[in-house]
Amino acid sequence: MTGSSASAPAIRVRGLRKAYKDVAVLRGVDLDVARGSIVALLGSNGAGKTTVVRILATLLRADGGTAVVNGFDVVTQAGDVRGSISLTGQFAAVDELLTGRENLVLIARLRHLKAPGAVADELLVRFALADAAARRVSTYSGGMRRRLDIAMSLIGNPPVIVLDEPTTGLDPQARLEVWRAVKELAAGGTTVLLTTQYLDEAEQLADRIAILHGGRILVNGTLAELTALLPPATVEYVEKQPTLEDVFLALVGHDPNLGDASRGDSNLGDADPGGSGAATPAAPTTNEDQS
Ligand SMILES: Nc1ncnc2c1ncn2[C@@H]1O[C@H](COP(=O)(O)OP(=O)(O)OP(=O)(O)O)[C@@H](O)[C@H]1O
Ligand SMILES: [Mg+2]
């Protein structure tokens, strides 16, 4: 169910304000997330990213402004918002004592789905966890937990997914796997808002990048629009040394015996190092433009 027309943004935030005691964290946040797109909300520690996503997920009340998810107002239509959005929090919310499959079946049951086992099995395959399905989550690597956590958030096919720092603490290979899962989600029509402190994550994944700083969205645009904000650098011809990430992935990327065996099919080619996801150039929007 959708609360507004298909062309309206999946998330629309206007003038959002929030203070903790007398510390103003959000001071007028404006943000749109188009349907089926990936938007990265970028900001330093304490910028207010988690505060924004908690307000969107109806876990926290804003002091002012409006937030609409899938056409529903987070305050007056909170139940409809909760039916439209899935939040994967900053810290993995999986049950360590259950197996991966049991975690998925549990959520499918809680959501009253008809065939919880089949739903779980499909997600286990999709997130490369089938081999580890019957193992307790306490034996999973960080990347496997994160993948399971994201898989759990997809149960019931919510149209809007919010991922709060989905790859913090993951090794480079596990990050690539989470990125691939997120890209697949958006390709399937799901709207994704993710928060991150990693600039490369925003570059690789997001159609648009919004930078939250000082309680406001400083800039919001495609990667091309954002890079166009600075004058072009002078071209100098120097040898390009491989980055540490290049070396790490070249050495461990193909070896299924290192790390988590279920991701032995990892392919460096999927890293898309040059791809930005940024497409149609248009004037970048700034907070000033929107007000
Ligand atoms: N319940 C709370 N009570 C008081 N202050 C809070 C509370 N929750 C968050 N804050 C403060 O609000 C600010 C924004 O916090 P928030 O968690 O939204 O930041 P963040 O951008 O998600 O940071 P991080 O990158 O560290 O996750 C921080 O200064 C934080 O200390
Ligand atoms: Mg946070």
Q: How far is the CA of 151 from the centre of ligand 1 (A)?
A: 26
The model carries a pTM of 0.80
Number of domains in the chain: 1
The reply to whether ligand 1 has any atom less than 6 angstroms from the CB of 103 is no
209: CATH: 3.40.50.300
Q: How far is the CA of 164 from the centre of ligand 2 (A)?
A: 7
Residue 120 lies in a domain: no
pLDDT at 6: 64
Question: Which ligand is nearest to the Cα of residue 59, counting in written order?
Answer: 1
> In what helix (H) or strand (E) does residue 204 lie, and over which residues does it extend?
helix 199-205
pLDDT at 250: 77
Question: Which ligand is nearest to the Cα of residue 60, counting in written order?
Answer: 1
For ligand 1, atom 28, the nearest C-alpha belongs to 46
Between CA 91 and CA 165 the distance in angstroms is 9
Closest-lying ligand 1 atom to the alpha carbon of residue 48: 18
pLDDT at 170: 79
Q: Within 10 Å of residue 134's Cβ, how many Cβ atoms? A: 11
CB 111 within 8 A of CB 103: no
pLDDT at 15: 98
Residue 17 lies in a domain: yes
Between CA 233 and CA 220 the distance in angstroms is 22
Between CA 43 and CA 23 the distance in angstroms is 17
pLDDT at 291: 37
Mean pLDDT, the chain cut into blocks of 10 residues (291 residues total): 70 97 96 95 93 96 97 96 88 87 94 93 91 95 87 89 88 83 88 92 92 93 87 78 77 56 42 39 45 37
Residue 109 lies in a domain: no
Residue 110 lies in a domain: no
Residue 38 lies in a domain: yes
Residue 171 lies in a domain: yes
Domain region containing 37: 11-94+157-290
